[in-house]
Amino acid sequence: MDDELIRQRKEAFRAHQALTPPRVLTSDGEAIAGAYRRDDLPAGALVGLPVSAGTIEGRARVILDMAEADLEAGDILVTAYTDPSWTPLFVAIKGLVTEVGGLMTHGAVIAREYGLPAVVGVEHATRLIRDGQRIRVHGTDGYVEILP
């Protein structure tokens, strides 16, 4: 019986890992969809929320699991989200892009404390930006450019 329960839970875990959560979920459980309305961006720019001012260019490091982080000084961290356990990574990076977040979320606050340009709420950033690509983060204006 225990083996069957373990198998079921592993299967459920794999199924849940494949899900993509909504970007905004209210406390009542309502998923809210929407799009940014910005006409002032360069073609192909990835739009998000400006949370820490400045503009920086560098190598994107797409990291989904902090335990597997392989950052070098000057990299730009691209991830789904951060929490306090990610803070040690901020000493090596020079910019931040996250898929979720707002002005008062962890990554935004730490980016401002460290003076790192940051854009959060960039939908599908970890899929649209490839690990190792050169990107430019416009933390003041809230968008990211993928460079040639």
Q: How far apart are CA 40 and CA 115, in angstroms?
A: 25
- Is 16 an annotated catalytic residue? no
**92 Ramachandran zone, left/alpha/beta (phi>0; psi -120 to 50):** alpha
Q: How far apart are CA 26 and CA 53, in angstroms?
A: 28
Q: How far apart are CA 2 and CA 26, in angstroms?
A: 37
The one catalytic residue in 16, 106, 124, 138 is 106
Closest by CA to 127, choosing from 52, 62, 66, 43, is 62
Q: How far apart are CA 23 and CA 20, in angstroms?
A: 9
Active site residues: 106
